[in-house]
């Protein structure tokens, strides 16, 4: 390890204190700090997905059962064993679980720098380290509860020490030990990653060191043969989906390696050029040719695993299968930057690193936690009791259910997964149910797009309560027909507030348009009503939820769907009752924009006050004369004079006489459909434009243009201050053709 650190920091001699070496040392430390920072940034801001939950479930089986289970799977058990040791020490939250992968992946950057320093000098160390530190594909898999990034670290350790054993003038035994350990750990984590360590054979010569290296390699594989003897007898043959065509793989691969993306889009030619430049630049440097050859050899197994075959697991295309080739591409870039002419090589390296930064920024910017299942399991935690059974419609998400259930203390629930799309006899599994039970829906459209399971259960059993969270949810069935009584009211944040408030579960911290955000409140019985307010970045009141006083201890779920027209920035949730306000939590809204206001004054100024705090301040109607089949354009100027609390729609009618059937009309959501009226704040101004085409057969004459507001839920119109249900905007004259 001392040699690794000396090489990594650019110290080639025992006492190298030159200005150049000092600068490289600082660059090396900075590169490692950047690598670590990028990997812990937003580490918990991603939902635990199937592969992560599956990995954690196997790790929790224990040493021997995990080994037996992984013998039938695609990867051997080393990472599962490490995770089994790690979780009791660090905890089961997403950040702490993923931090193990961070700890095991950042050293890969140091090893890559050490190898670059040995082959290309101090500058090569920096370029090789920066490529791996900034690579979005490697960053992504360094933030997952998966084994791919740690396996790469093990493989690079084997490659580095194998290179030292074979290339150093004075080889030391510890290099050989380091090679053997790295090779074994890589192969025992992800089988194919052993190829990274085996690339050290490029430096093997017909010498004693080369022969010892070969014998050591055979010894490691002899140990692995014991495991493979068990695994090969238990392996299943199955495919994750239709085979990915090779041309599609070759188009997507450059973007995967450089930008970290899973498919090809309009940037794939740029990524392909960058990839080709790295390869050609590496070939131009004599010492870089072996790394280019290694890159090609490591990319080839990634293609081979996608080839349909009659044995083993056949995945669909995913850039993770090419992850072992990434550091070799970085070393090829280091060779290009270290070669002649130097300005050309450095320019190439800077350009490639710029592309990596684009991919990393896009990946991290899109990484966020969404409330797909969080609040669903908070509700189950409150109402489910020991002995409850769960009918689960989730596609293949049983491991995700088990992860969330264990996280809220419901690991003992008996789960009955059903799948109408793959099991025609699923009804037999639920016919024996008796007493109370739950139907839990997690992405039900995958396995039950027609809703067969809820319909069937609803016809045979008594539904007592329904909890809906977008397309996910839970239905409680009980012969008594009574709603469930909470048995565990355990808020994650405990406070003492008015109206019996004694805690809440914090919502997700960041949201984008169409995201669903849930705030869970816990209240004791109270006599005073309360309300929850959402304040925008300017302190304006955007939405209000009125809460009647609870009669018994219970939880309340406040639901928010983020609209594209909300002002971006930090929002605050406020609980208000009995003249007292309690600030609860913060929500950062991203990717939204308040609809634009008027660009100029209207041609006709109005001051029509509708109910619920909405006023019509002006209107433009053009043209004043037109023929049948032509269109009239109506622009409305809205202003919020108070806080609206209802969801209003706009109607614009062309009528012969007010209060008659329209000859043409337009109905739409105001604020260009981007922001519901109950989220308008006092002072907001918006414009809407309706283009209404007249019928071809419309009789000539004078017609009125009227407009108003109505509630979509029941059609109730919003009256003006004078009691009218509409306002006359103007008149148009329809002439003969």
Give me the pLDDT at residue 315, please: 82
With bands split at pLDDT 50, 70 and 90, how would you rate the model's confidence at 14?
very low
Give me the pLDDT at residue 11, please: 41
Give me the pLDDT at residue 15, please: 39
Indicate whether 585 pLDDT > 50. yes
> Residue 710: beta bridge partners?
649, 717
SS (H, E, C) 124-193: HHHHHHHHHHHCHHHHHHCCCCCCHHHHHHHHHHHHHHHHHHHHCCCCCHHHHHHHHHHHHHHHCCCHHH
CA 546, 548, 550, 551: dihedral to nearest 10 degrees?
-170
SS (H, E, C) 238-277: EECCCCCCHHHHHHHHHHHHHHCCCCCCCCHHHHHHHHHH
Look up residue 428 and give its two tokens: 């037999």
Give me the pLDDT at residue 608, please: 96
Instruction: Give per-residue pLDDT as tens, 426-447.
Output: 999 999 999 999 999 999 988 8
Q: Which residue has the higher pLDDT, 229 or 731?
A: 731
Per-state percent for the chain, helix, strand, coil, to nearest 5: 40, 20, 35
Give me the pLDDT at residue 128, please: 96
Interacting residues of 54 by C-beta distance below 8 A, sequence separation 6+ = 399
Give me the pLDDT at residue 314, please: 77
Look up residue 113 and give its two tokens: 């720098």
What DSSP state is assigned to residue 519?
Answer: E
Indicate whether 359 pLDDT > 70. yes
| DSSP string computed for 533-602 | EEE-TTS-EEEEEEEPPPSSSEEEEEEEE--TTSPPEEEEEEEEETTEEEEEEEEEE-S--PPP--SS--
With bands split at pLDDT 50, 70 and 90, how would you rate the model's confidence at 8?
very low
Whole-number Å distance between alpha carbons of 660 and 540: 40
DSSP E strands: which ranges in 370-428?
389-393, 414-417
Instruction: Give per-residue pLDDT as tens, 685-715.
Output: 999 999 999 999 999 999 999 999 999 889 9
Give me the pLDDT at residue 395, please: 75
CA 314, 104, 123, 171: dihedral to nearest 10 degrees?
-90
Indicate whether 137 pLDDT > 90. yes
Give me the pLDDT at residue 697, please: 93
Q: Which residue has the higher pLDDT, 10 or 130?
A: 130
With bands split at pLDDT 50, 70 and 90, how would you rate the model's confidence at 555?
very high
Give me the pLDDT at residue 668, please: 96
Average pLDDT for 652-681? 95
Give me the pLDDT at residue 9, please: 44
Whole-number Å distance between alpha carbons of 545 and 519: 11
Give me the pLDDT at residue 238, please: 67
Buried residues in 655-682 as b, exposed as e (16+ CB within 10 A): beeeeeebbbebeebbbeebbbbbbbbe
Give me the pLDDT at residue 23, please: 54
With bands split at pLDDT 50, 70 and 90, how would you rate the model's confidence at 422?
confident
With bands split at pLDDT 50, 70 and 90, how would you rate the model's confidence at 24?
low
Indicate whether 13 pLDDT > 80. no
Indicate whether 7 pLDDT > 80. no
- In a 10 Å sphere around its CB, with 0-12 CB exposed, 13-18 middle and 19+ buried, how is residue 579 labelled? exposed
Whole-number Å distance between alpha carbons of 220 and 163: 17
Look up residue 282 and give its two tokens: 């590496």
Spatial contact of 339 and 285, defined as CB atoms under 8 Å apart: yes
Give me the pLDDT at residue 331, please: 97
Tell me the CB-side half-sphere exposure of residue 699, using CA atoms within 13 A. Answer: 4
- Pairing state of beta strands 625-626 and 727-734? parallel
Indicate whether 46 pLDDT > 90. yes
- Pairing state of beta strands 389-393 and 604-609? unpaired
Indicate whether 16 pLDDT > 50. no
> Worst-scoring range by mean pLDDT, 14-23, 344-353, 371-380, 539-548?
14-23
Distances (CA, A) of 661 to 85, 384, 653, 664: 74, 54, 9, 9
Mean pLDDT of the chain: 92
With bands split at pLDDT 50, 70 and 90, how would you rate the model's confidence at 566?
very high
Distances (CA, A) of 173 to 25, 162, 190, 224, 578: 27, 11, 26, 22, 76
Whole-number Å distance between alpha carbons of 370 and 516: 7
Look up residue 85 and give its two tokens: 């040791």
With bands split at pLDDT 50, 70 and 90, how would you rate the model's confidence at 21?
low
What DSSP state is assigned to residue 387?
Answer: T
Instruction: Give per-residue pLDDT as tens, 461-517.
Output: 999 999 999 999 999 999 999 999 999 999 999 999 999 999 999 999 999 999 999
The pair phi, psi for residue 497, each rounded to 5°, is -135, 180
Whole-number Å distance between alpha carbons of 698 and 627: 9
Give me the pLDDT at residue 239, please: 67
**119-123, Cβ contacts within 8 angstroms, sequence gap of 24 or more:** 119/287, 119/291, 119/331, 119/334, 119/335, 120/285, 120/287, 120/288, 120/331, 120/334, 120/335, 120/338, 121/338, 122/10, 122/20, 122/21, 122/24, 123/24, 123/334, 123/337, 123/338
With bands split at pLDDT 50, 70 and 90, how would you rate the model's confidence at 5?
very low
Average pLDDT for 331-356? 92
**193-196, Cβ contacts within 8 angstroms, sequence gap of 24 or more:** 193/148, 193/151, 193/152, 193/154, 193/155, 193/324, 194/155, 194/158, 195/155, 195/297, 195/298, 195/301, 195/324, 196/152, 196/155, 196/156, 196/158, 196/159, 196/298, 196/324, 196/327, 196/328
Buried residues in 350-371 as b, exposed as e (16+ CB within 10 A): eebbebbebbbeebbeebbbbb
Average pLDDT for 391-408? 92
Interacting residues of 58 by C-beta distance below 8 A, sequence separation 6+ = 66, 69, 70, 73, 80
pTM more than 0.85: yes
With bands split at pLDDT 50, 70 and 90, how would you rate the model's confidence at 1?
very low
> Worst-scoring range by mean pLDDT, 17-31, 214-228, 470-484?
17-31
């Amino acid at each position: 390890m001392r040699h690794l650190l000396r090489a990594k920091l650019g110290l080639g001699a025992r006492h190298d204190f030159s200005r150049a070496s000092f600068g490289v040392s600082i660059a090396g430390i900075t590169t490692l700090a950047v690598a670590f920072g990028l990997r812990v940034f937003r580490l918990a801001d991603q939902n635990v997905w199937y592969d992560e939950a599956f990995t954690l479930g196997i790790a929790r089986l224990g040493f021997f059962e995990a080994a037996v289970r992984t013998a039938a799977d695609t990867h051997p058990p080393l990472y599962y064993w490490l995770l089994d040791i790690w979780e009791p020490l660090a905890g089961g939250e997403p950040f702490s679980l993923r931090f193990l992968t961070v700890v095991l992946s950042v050293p890969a950057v140091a090893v890559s720098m050490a190898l670059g320093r040995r082959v290309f000098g101090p500058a090569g160390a920096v370029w090789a380290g920066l490529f791996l530190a900034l690579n979005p594909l490697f960053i992504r898999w360094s933030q997952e509860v998966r084994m791919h990034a740690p396996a790469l670290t093990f493989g690079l350790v084997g490659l580095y020490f194998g290179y030292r054993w074979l290339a150093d003038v004075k080889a030391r035994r510890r290099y050989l030990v380091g090679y053997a350990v790295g090779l074994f750990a890589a192969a025992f984590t992800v089988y194919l990653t052993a190829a990274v360590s085996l690339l050290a054979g490029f430096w093997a010569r017909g010498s004693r060191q080369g022969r010892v290296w070969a014998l050591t390699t055979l010894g490691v594989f002899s140990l692995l043969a014991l495991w493979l003897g068990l695994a090969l007898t238990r392996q299943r043959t199955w495919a994750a989906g239709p085979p990915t065509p090779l041309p599609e793989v070759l188009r997507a691969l450059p973007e995967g390696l450089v930008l970290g993306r899973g498919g090809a889009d309009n940037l794939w030619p740029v990524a392909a050029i960058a990839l080709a430049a790295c390869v050609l630049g590496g070939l131009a440097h004599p010492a870089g040719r072996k790394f280019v050859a290694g890159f090609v050899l490591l990319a080839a197994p990634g293609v081979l695993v996608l080839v349909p075959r009659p044995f083993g697991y056949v995945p669909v295309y995913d850039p993770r299968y090419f992850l072992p080739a990434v550091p070799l591409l970085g070393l090829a870039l280091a060779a290009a930057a270290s070669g002649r002419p130097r300005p050309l090589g450095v320019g190439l390296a800077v350009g490639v690193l710029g592309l990596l930064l684009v991919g990393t920024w896009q990946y991290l910017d899109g990484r966020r936690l969404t409330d797909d299942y969080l609040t669903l399991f908070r509700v189950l935690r409150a109402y489910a009791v020991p002995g409850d059974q769960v009918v689960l419609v989730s596609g293949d998400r049983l491991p995700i259910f088990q992860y969330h259930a264990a996280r809220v203390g419901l690991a003992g629930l008996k789960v009955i997964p059903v799948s109408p799309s793959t099991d025609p006899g699923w009804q037999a599994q639920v016919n024996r149910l008796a007493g109370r039970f739950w139907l839990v829906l997690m992405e039900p459209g995958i396995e039950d797009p027609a809703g067969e399971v809820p319909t069937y259960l609803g016809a045979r059993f008594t539904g007592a309560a329904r909890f809906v969270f977008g397309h996910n949810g839970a239905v409680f069935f009980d012969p008594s027909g009574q709603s469930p009584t909470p048995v565990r009211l355990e808020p994650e944040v405990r406070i003492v507030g008015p109206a019996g408030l004694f805690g809440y579960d914090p919502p997700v911290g960041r949201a984008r348009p169409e995201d669903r955000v849930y705030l869970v409140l816990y209240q004791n019985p109270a006599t005073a009503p309360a309300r929850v307010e959402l304040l925008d970045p300017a302190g304006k009141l955007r939405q209000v939820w009125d809460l009647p006083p609870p009669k018994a201890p219970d939880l309340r779920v406040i639901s928010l769907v983020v609209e594209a027209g909300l002002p971006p920035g930090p929002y605050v949730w406020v609980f208000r009752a009995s003249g007292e306000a309690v600030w609860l939590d913060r929500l950062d809204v991203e990717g939204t924009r308040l609809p634009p206001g008027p660009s100029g004054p209207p041609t006709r100024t109005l001051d029509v006050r509708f109910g619920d705090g909405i006023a019509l301040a002006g209107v433009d109607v053009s043209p004043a004369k037109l023929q049948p089949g032509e269109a009239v354009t109506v622009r409305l100027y809205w202003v919020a004079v108070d806080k609206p609390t209802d969801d209003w729609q706009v109607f614009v009618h062309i009528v012969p006489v007010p209060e008659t059937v329209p000859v043409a009309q337009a109905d739409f959501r105001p604020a260009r459909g981007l922001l519901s009226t109950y989220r308008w704040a006092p002072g907001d101004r918006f414009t809407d434009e309706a283009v209404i085409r007249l019928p071809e057969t419309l009789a000539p004459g004078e017609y009125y243009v009227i407009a108003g507001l109505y509630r979509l839920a029941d059609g109730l119109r919003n009256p003006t201050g004078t009691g009218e249900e509409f306002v006359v905007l103007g008149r148009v004259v329809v002439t003969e053709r």
